[in-house]
Structure 1
């Protein structure tokens, strides 16, 4: 299997595990020293470190009823960018409707970094606020 197809496979497994809420499967794809950077001022914003923290962030995002649509998988020299469309509605009526690129940097068939780029940082920050 080529490096490009291995990276694509890992990215697809990452997204499938997230959508299915299979947290142990997601954890197995992550390097122990992973970092995940998210812009904005919401409860999911900032940089977190470690696989446990990355899974906790994924759970926090998923717990808000997020629907994720995969638009494109873009393969690079050191990983993959997932072009996504996220939507959700909170119980109090707040709505999330954003496009994003989730960039997965990989080493030795593990995800070592996740960098999220959003079309509506303020909207994400408003949606993901402390109750």
Structure 2
């Protein structure tokens, strides 16, 4: 379970959310590893409303393009410009400096505990 941060909860689509206010959202190490070298990130802008389970951005790697799904419903407070300017940050620090955006949460989607998320990944292997 070394690729799952125990401080976060996860969507089935591999996004994580923390418990801060506003909440930070990012991509799991498992998702980043599957993507390979990330070369482009498109994030929702501040003021945008995101809806749990719906697409709100995308990540492009040398292998593929993957959609970003919001794990929560609410208003985006801030997009992480640093990760937009340097998408490779996702490969090196997906649980730290490479968070994607913050949200003033109105409601949560279906979120998994770290243990549930790790078990779901083990089932896919």
Q: Does the alignment reach a TM-score above 0.5? A: no
Q: Point out which structure has higher relative CO (alpha carbons under 8 A, 6+ apart).
A: 2
- The structure in which a higher percent of residues are strand is 1
Q: TM-score, normalised by structure 1?
A: 0.29
Q: TM-score, normalised by structure 2?
A: 0.30
- The structure in which a higher percent of residues are helix is 1
Larger Rg: 1
